[in-house]
Amino acid sequence: MKNRSFKIALTSFLFCSSAFSQLQQYDGFAYTVGSTLAGNGTWTNLNSGTAPVIASGNLTVSGLQPPTGERVSWVSGNIQEAWDLLGSTNSSGTLYYSFAFQLTSIPTTATYSFGFTGSSTTYGSTVWLTNSGTSFSIGVAARSSATALVYDTATFTTNDLIFLVGSYEFVSGATNNDISRLWINPSSADFGANSAPLSTLVITNVAAGTDLTNGINGFLLRGANGSPAGTMDELRIGTDWASVTPVPEPSTYAMLALAGAGFAGYVIRRRRR
C-alpha cells in the first residue's frame, strides 16, 4: 500500500511536469500599455510601418485558462511586421500555436496575417483572411502562397471573438508533403485533451514549393495591403494540443497538490519505520 501511494504521487507529479514541458512559449503580453510589440519579450520587427502596440485589457476564451497581462493591437494595411523568435528550432513532429483575436475592420482582399516562421522570409501554416462583403472568412495555407490554401465556409464579422489553434506537421520523405491544420473556435470540451480533435481545415503542401526544411523558429504577426485591423491575445506555442489549449489552473494545482501530499505521506511513513 505504501509503495502504491508513492507510485500514484510520482505518476501525478510526472504527468503534470510532462504537460508543462510541452509548452515552448507563452506570451500574455504583460508589457507596458502603449509600447510597441517589437522590443518586448522575444519580439522583433521585420520592416517599417506602423508598429503593433500593447493595448489594455484581454480577450477571454471561455473554458481556456484565464488570460494574463494585456493584448496587442494593430492597424489595417501595411504594418511593421512583428516576429516572435523561439528559443530553439523545431524540425520534426508537429508544432502547434494558439491565440485569440478580434478584427476591428474587414479585410479588403485575401491576405495572411499570422503564421509560423522558418526564417524572416519563409512562413508556414499561415492564417488567411478574406473579404466576404460585410464579413470575412478564415483559411489556412501550407506556406504563404494562395496556391496551397483552403477556406472554411463559416463567416465572421468585426468584434467576433475567435480562438484559433494551428499546427504544422513535418512529414519525412518528399520536400513538399508537410501538413498544416487549423481549428477555428474548437469546442472547450476538447481543451486540454491528450490528442487533438478533428481539425476545421487541413492542407498538404503539394503546390507551394518546398516545406520548411530548416524547421520552425518563430511566429509572425503580419499586415499588408488589404489587411484588416485587429487585436490578439494569449499566444501559445507547444508540441502538443494540450499545451496550447490549457484548462483553468485549479485542476492542475489540485493534481500537483495531490502529488505533493502523496509524496509527503510516503516520506513521513518511511521515517516512522
CATH of the domain at 132: 2.60.120.200
Opening angle at CA 213, ends 210 and 215, nearest 5: 135
Q: Do 11 and 77 reside in the same domain of the chain? A: no
The DSSP 8-state label assigned to residue 214 in this structure reads T
Q: Do 253 and 173 reside in the same domain of the chain? A: no
How many structural domains compose the chain?
2
Q: Do 129 and 189 reside in the same domain of the chain? A: yes
Is pLDDT at 14 greater than 50 in this prediction? no
Domain that includes residue 18, residue range: 1-22+247-273
Segment 232-252 mean pLDDT: 90
Q: Do 92 and 62 reside in the same domain of the chain? A: yes
CA distance 51 to 32: 14
Residues 6 or more apart in contact with residue 175 via CB below 8 angstroms: 210, 211, 213
Q: Do 137 and 257 reside in the same domain of the chain? A: no
Q: Do 17 and 118 reside in the same domain of the chain? A: no
Whole-model pTM: value is 0.85
CA distance 98 to 67: 13
Q: Do 12 and 74 reside in the same domain of the chain? A: no
Q: Do 222 and 256 reside in the same domain of the chain? A: no
Q: Do 6 and 116 reside in the same domain of the chain? A: no
Which of 117, 41, 131, 56 minimizes the C-alpha distance to 81? Answer: 117
Q: Do 48 and 120 reside in the same domain of the chain? A: yes
Give residue 102's pLDDT: 98
Q: Are 113 and 99 spatial neighbours (Cβ–Cβ below 8 Å)?
A: no
Q: Do 266 and 189 reside in the same domain of the chain? A: no
Q: Do 89 and 146 reside in the same domain of the chain? A: yes
Is pLDDT at 8 greater than 60 in this prediction? no
How high does pLDDT run on average in the chain?
A: 88
Is pLDDT at 189 greater than 90 in this prediction? yes
